[in-house]
Amino acid sequence: MTDTALADQIRAKIISDPDMILEDRDLMRALIAANEHAMGANIIDLRGIAMERLEARLDRLEDTHRSVIAAAYENLAGTNQIHRAVLRMLDPFDFEGFLKSLGTDVAEILRVDQVRLVLESLHSENDPALRHLGDVLCVAEPGFVHDYMQGERSGQPRTVVLRQTVPQSAVIYGEASGWIRSEALMRLDLGEGRLPGMLVMGAEDPHQFKPSQGTDLLGFFAGVFERAMRRWLS
């Protein structure tokens, strides 16, 4: 096929389907650049400038659109994850099985490395009656939950705290404190007349729990958990 015949064929294709060029950014840039070159250096093409700005705005909108969709999928996946963990947490028929499921199945569903339940009590953590309940349960002195969650912060205590671990974490994680790098802390209201508790999730990844993350799902999980705890403590 000769160059003339090929040019005629391309011209006919463009005339029959001009959207083929209008929807191709690279072709449009090439055409605009050729037009600017033909006009000379002493002429400013305001239309071309406007198109560049609109194109940049479109790129930003597309990036935002992708970010919103990604966040929606992530939120949906997180919601399903929390629902599965709640259902598994409610399966056991005794308190010992309830605690065991926290450190095994529930931790696996939530993809965390450690789960601890901290209960404030006047009794020693070495109480023989508590030893058979496993490593999930951690007994602490009254006031520990407030101090641990508050840390060096001032102001109103929060119900859910996401952060990197602090030196005092050895009290909760024991030997695992050497490699736990971030944690989610959930304050538990165990009912009138009872000392508060705290549900703790620890992760080796230092960025799994960060203060900038949302806490709605963990707040929901903590609400279900504390209601289950009230049933066991009643």
Q: Does 103 reside within a domain?
A: yes
| Burial of 193 (C-beta count, 10 Å sphere; 0-12/13-18/19+) | exposed
**pLDDT confidence of 151, banded at 50, 70, 90?**
confident
Q: Does 79 reside within a domain?
A: no
Q: Does 187 reside within a domain?
A: yes
Q: Say if residue 24's pLDDT is above 80.
A: no
Q: Does 28 reside within a domain?
A: no
Q: Return the CATH number at 111.
A: 3.30.450.40
pLDDT recorded at residue 76: 78
Of residues 93, 58, 69, 64, the one with CA closest to residue 232: 93
Contact 31, 47 (CB under 8 A): no
**pLDDT confidence of 209, banded at 50, 70, 90?**
very high
Name the percent of the chain lying above pLDDT 90. Answer: 32
Count: domains in the chain = 1
* Domain that residue 163 falls in: 93-233
In one-letter notation, the amino acid at residue 10 is I
Q: Does 64 reside within a domain?
A: no
Q: Does 162 reside within a domain?
A: yes
Q: Does 4 reside within a domain?
A: no
User: pTM to 2 decimals?
Assistant: 0.69
Q: Does 213 reside within a domain?
A: yes
The DSSP bridge pattern shows strands 160-164 and 197-203 to be unpaired
Q: Which of 15-19, 92-96, 120-124 has the highest mean pLDDT?
A: 92-96
28-78: pLDDT as tens digits: 676 666 666 666 555 556 666 666 777 777 778 877 777 777 666 777 788
The DSSP bridge pattern shows strands 137-140 and 160-164 to be unpaired
